[in-house]
């Protein structure tokens, strides 16, 4: 069963308090981020229904928002998601090559997750880092000026982080 | 020598923190505006400055502020547009990341001028770490009496809230942004009514870009008239340009709008020339939505005059031979780049980002991507080029918001200036497939 912890609930209340009385629906986007981060990195139907209940809105209002925005995952994703930008300015600096290289190294195509559930590769559109291309988003941060060597190092970094967590 | 009004202090060690920012003269404009000037006087200064919206449309900021409706008893809001998603544009990020207090300072003064007690920064969801930087700056400002209740003892109350988006280019369009801020899908509203009359929660709302609001700080400090002396014609003040693509020094530059495009590209102070000793082929000077120009029309206008980095000069010649300042996203293509391929990538972007409300945009962007893909991969016909032209014409002007136009213009300009490349792909299918 999904349920916010004490700490998550405090954050939920802080988010809702930023909007006028009766306009708690305005907190939907930030609350969905919170829910996604809290419940396994994606939004299950159960999670979305919970968010609807918490915000006192109907489930359909949550579904239509969750399906509109690209940052909400509607399916489980790997522990580490490589979101590589493929738009024009990044392409001019070799993003195609980086995407192909990551795919080759991990043995997956864009949109897929490795069988051990460790990595997801996703191509995304311009992330506002065009001057530091090629680049990708990894969790909360950007990894910029990517080269094949940097990609190797990032994959290693993720693997050893995961190993230390176990 | 260039004049820096926004980024002058961006590299001072620790400028991200209140104490250093304050020591460097920060928050003076708040003291001046709240204690010595009133809301009307601030709006007046912004009008005198000639400041134009830095989000892309270039609408005069002071004029927009003076349009805000003031119905009795209805709260008003200022919303800062930090959605920055136009390919080629990353200037707002730079400003928020390196000198966040400048934005907060501008927001306090602007909120006071507009009578906004709750001001929102809507930031694209991917800039997650910048949310932390902004929230830190806001809490520092609050702890020092520049935000919260009774600011500087003047009786003015103001709080700033940061709301993250969740990945949707369309939410940069101000009415889509407002819908998103209300917790809905980012479907643009029909304008008018403009947000200044009916915005968030149907209350009068001013939406301004990050850079526009930051520029209010130097305007208040130096006075609107002094600010207006910088630059040329209706391009007053300084402008942030984010430069990317095949140049030696990609990055964010603050320019005084009197420099030429040639100087911007080749001078070491800015882009430092084309990377790897290549030649300049083309450039999209104002973010992906504006027309691409071949090198000859970029450096000189059709009349043979020098082209400058300002609103008027970049649009000289209209769409036939000119382009636009737009958001200041400057994308440079070297001689090895394929215009068809680049245009295809942008077409895919717009298809992906269309909100789907209007059929010309929803269907048209899909068709354009498909046809461009065929041409790029050597499966096109010559008649496809005309078909493409026809589709983009049918989108332009027939949609609720300008995303449709933004998708149409890059395709139109690419065909207008580089038709031979499209034809080459069709006539050399084998080579094109590689
Ligand atoms: N920075 C970025 O990432 C992006 C920027 N853009 C830019 O956005 C531009 C289009 O933006 P729009 O907001 O659709 O342009 P617009 O011309 O409709 O509006 C510009 C601003 O002026 C205000 N305004 C205009 N007439 C008004 C009136 N009579 N009363 C009150 N307010 C009024 C609008 O509310 C808006 O804030 C494009 O030119 C493009 O360059 C587009 C995509 C992304
Ligand atoms: C599709 C689309 C996307 C936009 N994205 C942004 C954006 O990311 N940032 C921005 O400031 N303005 C963006 N705009 C322009 C806004 O609608 C609006 O004009 C701007 O925020 C007003 O601020 P300004 O007057 O300070 O420029 C976009 C417009 C369109 C049509
Ligand atoms: S033009 Fe496109 S993005 Fe804009 S409202 Fe219509 S369908 Fe949506
Ligand atoms: S095009 Fe990749 S970050 Fe902008």
CB contact under 8 A, A65 and B185: yes
* Element of type H or E holding B18: helix B18-23
Nearest residue to B293 via CA among B330, B243, B255: B330
CB contact under 8 A, B186 and A68: yes
Q: Is A85 annotated as a binding residue?
A: yes
Token code pair at residue B26: 């920060």
A163: CB partners within 8 A, 6+ apart: none
Ligand 4 within 6 A of CB of A130 = yes
A32: CB partners within 8 A, 6+ apart: A43, A48, A51, A62, A65, A66, A72, B166
- Residue ranges and CATH numbers for the domains of chain A are 6-68 (1.10.10), 80-165 (3.40.30.10)
- Minimum distance, in Å, between the CA of residue B251 and any CA atom of chain A: 5
User: Is A118 within 8 Å of A158 (Cβ atoms)?
Assistant: yes
Question: What integer pLDDT is reported at residue B1 of this predicted model?
Answer: 53
**Ligand 1 centre and the CA of B59: distance in Å?**
7
Provide the CB-side half-sphere exposure for A65 (13 A, CA): 30
pLDDT in tens, B94-144: 999 999 999 999 999 999 999 999 999 999 999 999 999 999 999 999 999
Judged by a CB distance cut-off of 8 A, whether residue B124 touches chain A is yes
Write phi, then psi, for B159 (nearest 5 degrees).
-125, 145
- Minimum distance, in Å, between the CA of residue A58 and any CA atom of chain B: 12
Is the ipTM higher than 0.95? The answer is: yes
CB contact under 8 A, B342 and A88: yes
pLDDT in tens, A123-161: 999 999 999 999 999 999 999 999 999 999 999 999 999
Ligand 4 within 6 A of CB of A127 = yes
Ligand 2 within 6 A of CB of B326 = no
Residue given tokens 């065929």 in the structure block: B374
Residue given tokens 């900021």 in the structure block: B61
Q: How confident is the model at residue B2 (pLDDT cuts 50, 70, 90)?
A: confident
Taking the CA of residue B87 as reference, the ligand 4 atom at the shortest distance is 4
pLDDT in tens, B225-272: 999 999 999 999 999 999 999 999 999 999 999 999 999 999 999 999
Judged by a CB distance cut-off of 8 A, whether residue A22 touches chain B is no
Q: Which residues of A touch B169 (CB under 8 A)?
A: 125-126
The strand ranges marked E within B32-107 are 77-82
d(Cα B164, Cα B159) in Å, to the nearest integer?
Answer: 16
Question: Phi/psi class of residue B14: alpha, beta or left (left: φ > 0; alpha: ψ in -120 to 50)?
Answer: left
pTM as predicted: 0.97
Ligand 2 within 6 A of CB of B281 = no
Residue given tokens 């990317």 in the structure block: B244
* Element of type H or E holding A57: none
Give B359: exposed, middle or buried? Use CB within 10 Å, 0-12, 13-18, 19+. Answer: exposed
Q: Which residues of A touch B288 (CB under 8 A)?
A: 87-88, 126
Q: Is A158 annotated as a binding residue?
A: no
């Amino acid at each position: 069963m999904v349920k916010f912890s004490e700490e998550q609930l405090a954050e939920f209340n802080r988010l809702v308090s930023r909007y006028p009385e009766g306009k708690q629906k305005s907190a939907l986007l930030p609350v969905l981020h919170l829910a996604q981060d809290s419940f396994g990195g994606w939004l299950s139907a159960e999670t979305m229904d919970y968010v609807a209940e918490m915000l006192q809105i109907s489930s359909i209002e949550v579904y239509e928002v969750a399906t509109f925005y690209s940052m909400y995952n509607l399916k489980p994703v790997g522990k580490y998601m490589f979101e590589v930008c493929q738009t024009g300015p990044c392409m001019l600096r070799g993003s195609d090559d980086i995407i192909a290289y990551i795919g080759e190294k991990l043995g997956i195509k864009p949109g897929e997750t490795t069988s051990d559930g460790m990595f997801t590769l996703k191509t995304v559109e311009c992330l506002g880092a065009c001057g530091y291309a090629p680049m990708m988003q990894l969790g909360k941060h950007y990894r910029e000026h990517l080269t094949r060597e940097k990609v190797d190092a990032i994959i290693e970094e993720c693997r050893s982080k995961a190993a230390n967590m176990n | 020598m260039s004049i820096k009004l926004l980024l002058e202090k961006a590299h001072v060690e620790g400028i991200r923190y209140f104490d250093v920012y304050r020591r460097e003269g920060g928050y003076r404009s708040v003291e001046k505006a709240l204690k010595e000037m009133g809301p009307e006087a601030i709006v007046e200064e912004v009008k005198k400055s000639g400041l134009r919206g830095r989000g892309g449309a270039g609408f005069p900021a002071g004029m927009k502020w003076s349009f805000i409706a003031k119905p009795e008893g209805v709260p008003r809001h200022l919303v800062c547009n930090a959605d920055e998603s136009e390919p080629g544009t990353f200037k707002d990020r730079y400003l928020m990341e390196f000198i966040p207090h400048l934005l907060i300072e501008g927001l306090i003064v602007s909120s006071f001028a507009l009578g906004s007690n709750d001001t929102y920064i809507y930031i694209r969801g991917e800039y997650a770490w910048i949310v932390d930087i902004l929230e830190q700056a806001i809490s520092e400002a609050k702890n020092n009496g520049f935000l919260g209740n009774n600011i500087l003892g003047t009786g003015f109350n103001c709080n700033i809230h940061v709301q993250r988006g969740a990945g949707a280019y369309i939410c940069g369009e101000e009415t889509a942004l407002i819908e998103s801020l209300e917790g809905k899908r980012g479907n643009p509203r029909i304008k008018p009514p403009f947000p200044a009359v009916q915005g968030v929660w149907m209350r009068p709302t001013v939406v301004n870009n990050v850079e526009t609001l930051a520029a209010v700080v130097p305007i208040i400090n130096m006075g609107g008239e002094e600010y207006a002396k910088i630059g040329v014609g209706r391009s007053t003040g300084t402008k942030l340009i984010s430069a990317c693509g095949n140049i030696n020094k990609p990055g964010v530059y603050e320019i005084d709008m009197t420099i030429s495009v040639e100087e911007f590209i080749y001078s070491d102070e800015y882009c430092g020339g084309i990377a790897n000793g290549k030649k300049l082929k083309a450039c999209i000077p104002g973010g992906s939505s504006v027309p691409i120009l071949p090198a000859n029309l970029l450096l000189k206008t059709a009349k043979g005059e020098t082209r400058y980095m300002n609103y008027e000069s970049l649009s000289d010649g209209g769409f036939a031979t000119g382009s636009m300042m737009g958001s200041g996203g400057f994308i440079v293509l070297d001689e090895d780049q394929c215009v068809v391929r680049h245009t295809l990538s942008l077409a895919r972007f717009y298809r992906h980002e269309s909100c789907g409300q209007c059929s010309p945009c929803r269907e048209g962007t899909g068709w354009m991507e498909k046809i461009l893909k065929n041409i790029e991969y050597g499966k096109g016909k010559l008649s496809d080029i005309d078909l493409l032209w026809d589709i983009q014409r049918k989108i332009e002007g027939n949609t609720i918001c300008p995303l449709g136009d933004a998708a149409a213009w890059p395709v139109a300009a690419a065909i207008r200036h580089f038709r031979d490349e499209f034809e080459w792909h069709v006539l050399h299918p084998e080579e094109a497939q590689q």
